[in-house]
Amino acid sequence: MEGPRLSGIGMTSARTRERLVQRLLEQGITDERVLDRIRNVPRHLFMDEALASRAYEDTALPIGFGQTISQPFVVAQMTAAVLKAGEASRVLEIGTGCGYQTAVLSPLVAEIYTIERIASLLTRARRTLRELRIRNVHYRHDDGSVGWPARAPFDGILLTAAPHAVPPALFDQLKIGGRLIAPVGPDGRQELIRYIKTEARIERQSLGLVSFVPLLSGLQR
C-alpha cells in the first residue's frame, strides 16, 4: 500500500472535523489540548487514499500488514490518560503504526520515543510525520515488548497493541509517578488500563473495554 502524501484527498473540511470533536466531547473527552489535536491533525494523511473519505469517522481502519489506525476516541482517551495527573516530558510509544497517535501526542510532550516491529510501517510513519514537520520523535525498529532501556526512564508509556499481560520490562522503564496506558487481554476481550507506578506498588485503573491488534514479538520487514 502506497503511503499517504500531503496532497492526498480526504474529507478535510472544518465542519467534518468539528463533528468528530463534538462526538468525542459527548463520549467524555474533555481535555481541550487533546480535542484540539484531534481537530487539527490531518488523519486522512495517515491512511491509503482509498479510505481517506472515512478518515474522520470515529472508527478504526486498516493500514496494511494486519494493523489498524486506532479509533479517534481511543487515541484521545489514551492521550488524555497519559497526560493526566502529572507532566509527561518523555513518552515511550510501543507500536508506531501509521504514526497518527504519535502526531496527536507530539506537541503535548517534550520527546516521544516510538518503537515499531514492522519496518515498512515505521518508514511510512517517519515520512508522514516529517512532512508534517513533527520533529520531537525518536524512532526505533525493534520488538516493543523489550521497551527502550537506553532512553529510560519515561514519564509515560503507551501501548497501541494488546499484550495478555504488560511485559515487566516496561514497568521497569517507568518513572515513579509515571503512567502506563495499555489495552490488556485476549482478542475481543481487552480492557484499557492506566497503571501508575508508585514507590510501593503499581496502581491499576480500568478505562473501559477496547479492541486492539495483539502485541507481537519479533521483527518484520
Catalytic annotation, residues = 70
C-alpha cell at 7: 496532497
| Residue 202 identity | I
Residue 95 is which amino acid?
A: G
Bond prior to 153 in cis (omega within 30° of 0): yes
Nearest to 80 by CA among 132, 25, 138: 25
90, β-bridge pairs:
111
Rounded to whole angstroms, the Cα distance separating 36 from 10 reads 19
Q: Which residues of 5-15 are buried (b: 16+ CB within 10 A; e: fewer)?
A: eeebebbeeee
130: which 3 cell numbers? Answer: 516529517
Q: Which amino acid, 126?
A: R
Pairing of strands 67-69, 61-64: antiparallel
Q: Smallest Cα–Cα separation from 63: which of 123, 139, 113?
A: 123
**Which DSSP state fits 3?**
P
Secondary structure percentages of the chain, helix, strand, coil, to 5: 35, 30, 40
